[in-house]
Homo-oligomer: A and B are copies of this chain.
Amino acid sequence: MFNGSILIGASERSGGEPFYAVHPATGAKGDVAFSNASPADVADAAALADAAFESFSTLSPDARASFLEAVADQIVAIGDLLIETAMAESGLPRPRLEGERGRTVGQLRLFASYVRQGDWLDATIDKALPDRAPLPRSDLRRVNQSLGPVAVFGASNFPLAFSVAGGDTASAFAAGSPVVVKGHPAHPGTGELVARAIAAAVKASGLHEGVFSYLPGTTNDLGGALVSDARIKAVGFTGSRGGGIALMKIAAGREEPIPVYSEMSSINPVVLLPAALAARAEAMGAAFVGSLTMGSGQFCTNPGLVIALDGPDLDTFVASAAAAMSGAAPQVMLTPGIHAAYEKGVAAIAGAEGVTTVARGTEPEGVNRGQAAFFSTDSANFFANPQLADEVFGSSSVLIRCSSIEEVVKTIADLEGQLTATLQMADGDEADAAALLPTLARKVGRILTNGWPTGVEVTHAMVHGGPFPSTSDGRTTSVGTLAMMRFLRPVCYQDVPDALLPPALQAANPWGLTRRMEGKLEASA
């Protein structure tokens, strides 16, 4: 169960101006009064995280992996209460949340298996060359270790998979970082249930209580205090561009600046190439609307921009999309605030010069339902109205009609950084695709062909990241095993006696790692 507590390590607290969950499907207020964490709570959580750092960051891969698995088990053990609570607080349907729980648990287990394997330590050894002339070379050994305690800000749109025990927390734990989560006020009961599951796993695993703390709250000041705390060494955030940039500024202005991994804003261009349009315009129109309206369009990878050569095949696509959209039943959005922002964003596009409204979803019944929207304009008008490229979070997309493939390339080249770009192509589109790919590769983190950008797999090869402003740091990903590298830094040991070296670097290789010896990977003997 949950009671609105703040969790500082193994202790529970309450305090601050209470707040309540809002059930978006009805607009009703929940019963439980949630505490609002204070700067003193931040300081205590950060101090505990700092105290936990040494023991947690030096755990063996196996012990850390077992902890990740224990977190997964504890989340499963919450049972249906977790799904029911998340349904009420997010308005998301049961199958989606059951799937999301599966992804959350699977993500923790994937990190566990990758942590056990140990390649992320990047253990690298250049042995001493005592006879080198003119000077001998020392023995040099390098290994990755955690940056330090990490602050995580969960996303509203994934109350399980990108919130309290989501991708940022899982990857930070995997890297050996204690985590302090600032709970998202849109799903406080869900958040507390998961926080208690993590705390139970910390206890069951015999770890220092400071490995995890949970700070529910509604204020920007709470987040600011957390990012400002000198003991916090990195930040994971998924949310709005404004919120992410605010955290970047706080982090850059600290006495010791720290990295912020903000996943922010992306409109995920989809390019419809001519042969694909000729071959399957109608099917693509329906599939596009399926991707656009899934989950009320509340995905970072929602296809908010479609770019194509004008002509009759494009008209067929548009007609098919319009027909599909007119049958799309409005779904509950995550919060009244998100719904209001969606309505405002759609109204701004609908009212912009040179923009035609191609289709809307059916008229909503009930509160906080998102009515899908599809607009059309040409590329000259798109360039003249930069606000048309702003993300509207929800099922809203703009079609850009181009007159040549060169205009398509230019439209892509002038976009800001994006999480994804998609090429719809068929036989005959290869040359156009080849002409587009170099521009796409500079602009985005993931390039798809003949799929839709929604639906992010948690694997080794996934990149859920991209150039600014899609994220604050295009060198990274927030989904997939590579995400744990965000929280690591290399340390080199020069001529340090074997017994004092971290196990990953010891001569006996007690963790059985594949290590880089004189530049070449070498499997454990």
Contact = CB atoms under 8 A, between A and B. Distances in A.
Contacts of A246: none
Nearest to A55: B438
Interface string A210-250: 00000000000000000000000000000000000000110
A446 interface: yes
Contacts of A141: 461
A53 B441 CA distance: 12
B495 A451 contact: yes
Interface stretch (A38-46, A186-194, A364-372, A473-481): A473-481
B438 A58 contact: yes
B475 A463 contact: no
A135 B467 CA distance: 29
Interface stretch (A280-288, A289-297, A483-491): A483-491
A463 B491 contact: yes
A465 interface: yes
A457 B446 CA distance: 37
Contact of A442 (B53, B126, B455, B494): B53
A142 B463 contact: yes
Interface centre among A437, A450, A500 (most CB of B within 10 A): A500
Contact of A519 (B114, B475, B488, B521): B114
Given A438-B58, A481-B519, A256 B461 contact: no
Interface string A246-269: 001100100011010000000000
B474 A137 contact: no
Given A442-B53, A494-B448, A460 B126 contact: yes
A507 interface: no
Contacts of A148: 442
Sorted nearest first, the 10 A-B pairs with minimum C-beta distance are A463-B492, A140-B461, A142-B461, A448-B494, A446-B492, A126-B459, A126-B461, A124-B461, A252-B252, A475-B489
Interface in A485-525: 488-497, 499-500, 514, 516, 518-521
A521 B518 contact: no
A183 interface: no
Contacts of A249: 252
B491 A444 contact: yes
Interface in A129-154: 135, 137-138, 140-142, 145, 147-148
B516 A460 contact: yes
Contact of A477 (B475, B488, B490, B514): B490
Interface of A: 53-54, 58, 113-114, 117, 119, 124-126, 135, 137-138, 140-142, 145, 147-148, 248-249, 252, 256-257, 259, 416-417, 430, 433-434, 437-438, 441-442, 444-451, 455, 457, 459-463, 465, 467-469, 472-477, 481-482, 488-497, 499-500, 514, 516, 518-521
Contacts of A520: 117
Nearest to A477: B490
B475 A441 contact: no
Contacts of A457: 126, 137-138, 140
20 contacts: A53-B442, A54-B438, A119-B521, A124-B460, A138-B448, A138-B451, A138-B457, A142-B461, A249-B252, A252-B252, A256-B417, A257-B472, A259-B473, A445-B489, A449-B496, A449-B500, A465-B489, A475-B489, A477-B492, A481-B519
B467 A490 contact: no
A243 to B, nearest CB: 16
A208 to B, nearest CB: 13
B140 A256 contact: no
Given A438-B58, A521-B119, A450 B495 contact: yes
A489 B461 contact: no
A245 to B, nearest CB: 9
A406 to B, nearest CB: 16
Given A433-B500, A437-B500, A461-B124, A147 B494 contact: no
Nearest to A463: B492
Contacts of A438: 54, 58
B521 A447 contact: no
Contacts of A489: 445, 465, 467, 474-476
Contacts of A455: 135
Contacts of A493: 446-447
Nearest to A259: B475
Nearest to A114: B519
B474 A147 contact: yes
